[in-house]
Amino acid sequence: MKLLVPVKRVVDYNVKVRVKADNTGVETANVKMSMNPFDEIAVEEAVRLKEKGVATEIIAVSAGPAAAQEQIRTALAMGADRGILVEHDGVLEPIAVAKILKALVEKEQPQIVVMGKQAIDDDMNATGQMLAALLGWPQGTFASKVEIADGAATVTREVDGGLETVKLQLPAVVTADLRLNEPRYASLPNIMKARKKPIETVKPADLGVDPTPRLTVLRVEEPAKRQAGSKVGSVQELVAKLRNEAKVI
């Protein structure tokens, strides 16, 4: 069984995001970049499936600038077998990424696409669902547990009311939630081995995909700073402030 795992290059979650001086976006120059944490969980799950003998090959895929090879190398060091970089320097919206992944799925013929449920930079939470729709595949989103047997995937997923279990006939798309697993740290020998693993580079046009954005960002601004709170001496004073100052009652 072949697994495809998309990984995205994002600003590291420990870095405080700053807006550019010209308000055209967020600052990425000289900022630490890393693999999207949810994608890291997806890579770990794919590696665990391979260790169980369920999967035979793991392909790590990234769409973005040439520097995204760094995140593919991280996936290779964790246990992926080879990588594919779809090189593009501009903005990639979820629908464009989904179309790119669809083309790669048709080329590589994986049985499962395991990916993070969302990216921490835009929080779109849309690519996995769009990919499943384009492929006509069943999907198990927000997965906290995945079991593969008899040509089907049993996915326990987190919903507002608790946990829901769905059974998907393969091929299928699975998106990883935070509680699916704890990603491993890549060992130094595996990091060295990852340097020798192959990474294929293609362009969106090579896959027949037009990545032109459909949305135009007009301006990016910092959120308004929160005002300090205040203490009140009585319920009557609280009600008065809510009515006269906050005007919420």
End-to-end CA distance of the chain: 59
Our CA dihedral for 35, 9, 176, 3, rounded to 10 degrees, sits at: -90
- Residues of the chain by 3-state class (helix, strand, coil), percent to 5: 30, 25, 40
Residue 207 and residue 101: Cα distance in Å, rounded?
9
Is 25 among the domain residues? yes
Could you tell me how many residues make up the chain?
Answer: 249
- pLDDT (tens digit per residue) in 187-209: 999 999 999 999 999 999 999 99
The number of folded domains in the chain is: 1
Is 176 among the domain residues? yes
Q: For each of the chain's 249 residues, which pLDDT tens digit applies?
A: 999 999 999 999 999 988 998 988 888 888 999 999 999 999 999 999 999 999 999 999 999 999 999 999 999 999 999 999 999 998 899 999 999 999 999 999 999 999 999 999 989 999 999 999 999 999 999 999 999 999 999 999 988 888 999 999 999 999 999 999 999 998 999 999 999 999 999 999 999 999 999 999 899 988 888 888 888 899 999 999 999 988 888
The values of phi and psi at residue 168, to 5°, are: -115, 130
Is 128 among the domain residues? yes
Q: What is each CA distance from 74 to 7, 32, 55, 137, in whole angstroms?
A: 10, 14, 19, 28
Tell me, what CATH number does 29's domain have? Answer: 3.40.50.620
Which percentage of the chain shows pLDDT scores above 90? 79
DSSP for 46-57, please give it.
HHHHHHTTS-SE
Is 77 among the domain residues? yes
Is 249 among the domain residues? no
Is 105 among the domain residues? yes
Q: Do residues 141 and 129 touch, judged by C-beta distance below 8 A?
A: yes
For 124, residues 6+ apart whose C-beta sits below 8 A from its C-beta are 94, 118
Q: Do residues 43 and 51 touch, judged by C-beta distance below 8 A?
A: no
Is 156 among the domain residues? yes
Quote the distance between the C-alpha of residue 161 and its chain's center: 24
User: 85 is in which domain, residue-wise?
Assistant: 2-244
Quote the distance between the C-alpha of residue 158 and its chain's center: 17
User: What's the predicted TM-score (pTM) here?
Assistant: 0.86
Residue 139 and residue 153: Cα distance in Å, rounded?
10
The values of phi and psi at residue 38, to 5°, are: -70, -30
- pLDDT (tens digit per residue) in 150-189: 999 999 998 888 899 999 999 999 999 999 999 999 899 9
Q: What is the pLDDT of residue 222?
A: 87
17: which 2 tokens?
A: 């995001």
Is 68 among the domain residues? yes
How is residue 75 annotated by DSSP? H
